[in-house]
Every structure is written in structure tokens, then in C-alpha cells.
Amino acid sequence: MAIRFDILTTFPEMFSPDPPAALAVSIPGRARSAGLVEWHATDIRAYSRDKHRKTDERPFGGGPGMVMMCQPLWDAVAGAEALDPRPAARILLTPQGERLHQGMVEELARLERILLIAGHYEGIDERVIERLAPREVSLGDYVLSGGEMAAMVLMDAVIRLIPGALGDGESAVRESFSVADGAGGGRRLLDCPQYTRPRTWESMEVPEVLTSGDHERIARWRLERMLERTRARRPDLFPNQEGAG
């Protein structure tokens, strides 16, 4: 059966038209057409009991911004979860979350159903987070306007790992570079530089080795460039070596 995503948001239009533009093309678009994935956005506002469909309130203790109330979110989760009999893994996209990484993405790709909670608020009442007990996930240390784009990033990363989502060519490439690509939760190396025709562009040449036809030498050159770049740009990917962050 297809993996199912439910997205809880006060901006469900970000996930429509169905599918949203960002997920309608390329690998996610093909995966959806092939019936490998489906998703549904639930409007948290529809669960407000307020006549103005309010879902947020001013924070106790004062301060700027608004806080999402417990009841609309709690009822929206119940409503969304009732749309399908399978249990859903609950994920809250929040700057306070654990940073998303490929190992987590691989874990999530094995699930049948994922419920994503995207806030467009300064925060959510901690009591409903405590009761829902979601996994809390962040994309990194920069500020987005809301969790919706983060939810789409997570969906894209998960969808491309669903068996059958990658084309034949893509999956073959992935297999032969599985360690470098971080399969099995392994540490990744950055990609090596890539070149294509023409051999000379603006008097810049392609590295000679790549046109030598010596496949052993090419493989060695590529691995060296991957290691060199990773050491220079992402020393944190070498946890047991000098310069690790």
C-alpha cells in the first residue's frame, strides 16, 4: 500500500492544488502518479470552536507573538488520524526539534503513515505537545516563516527512498555509490566535481583523467576529490578525525 502523509496546517492551500507544485514534478510527482505515495492536508482552523475560527491566543506571561491553543490542534490530529485505519507516526516540525538527517529519513521511509504538524506560529501550547508526544524535527539553524516548507522538504526526502520511486538509472547509481550516498545511515561524503561536454569551455579544460578511459584511475580520482572536499568543507562529517565539529 502507498505511504500516506497527513499534513496539519492553518495554510492547507500551501499543499494544494493537489498535488502542490513543488511535489507534483520530478521524483515525488512520479511516485504519486505510480500510486507509491498519497497525502492529505487537514486545516487546523476547521477544528476551532471560535466563531472567528481562531486557533491561537496571546501567551500567558506576556511577550510578543501568538501561541497555538491545545484544543484545535488536538481535535485536528484526531480528525486526521481517523481518515485512515493505520496508525500514524506523529512529527512536529519545529525549530526546537532534532535536526533532520539522512538516517532519520531512511527510518521514516519504512513507515506506512506519517502525520506532519506544521505550525505557523511563534509556538504551540506545550501541553498539547506533551500529550501528542510527537517526534520533534527541525531542518537546521535558520528561521522559516512556518513549518509547512519544512514538511515538504521532509516529504521529498522520504518519497525518493520509497522502493520504485527512483527510475532504473537513478536506483542503479544509488546502489553503486550507496556508502558515499549515506545509505544505511552511514556518514556521507560530498560529491566529487562533475563535467560534461564540451571538453573545452571558455578555455577551461576538463580534468584529463576523466577523458583517459582508465576507469580505475577515474574511480580513484573521484574518491580522492570526495574526501578532499569533505575534509575542506564539511569536516564535521569525519567524526573521529582532526577538525571534527
Q: Which of 119, 134, 152, 165 binds ligand 9D3 (CB under 6 A)?
A: 119
> Binders of ligand 9D3: how many residues, by CB under 6 A?
14
Name beta bridge partners: 68: 56, 124
61 near ligand 9D3, judged by CB under 6 A? no
Looking at residue 59, what DSSP letter applies?
P
Q: Which stretch binds ligand 9D3 (CB under 6 A): 40-48, 108-116, 146-154, 163-171?
A: 146-154
Cβ of residue 218: shortest distance to ligand 9D3, in angstroms?
38
Q: Which of 122, 170, 214, 236 binds ligand 9D3 (CB under 6 A)?
A: 122
Query: Which lies closer to ligand 9D3 via its Cβ, residue 119 or residue 182?
Result: 119
Query: Which lies closer to ligand 9D3 via its Cβ, residue 145 or residue 200?
Result: 145
The per-residue b/e assignment along 224-245, b for 16 or more CB within 10 angstroms, e otherwise, is ebbeeebbeeeeebbeeeeeee
- DSSP H helices, the chain, are 21-24, 26-33, 70-81, 102-108, 126-132, 148-159, 168-176, 215-233
Contact 35, 70 (CB under 8 A): no
153 near ligand 9D3, judged by CB under 6 A? no
Name beta bridge partners: 40: 6
138 near ligand 9D3, judged by CB under 6 A? yes
Amino acid identity, position 212: S
Q: Which of 150, 155, 159, 165 binds ligand 9D3 (CB under 6 A)?
A: 150
Contact 136, 92 (CB under 8 A): yes
For ligand 9D3, the binding residues (CB under 6 A) are 93-95, 119, 122, 138-140, 142-144, 146-147, 150
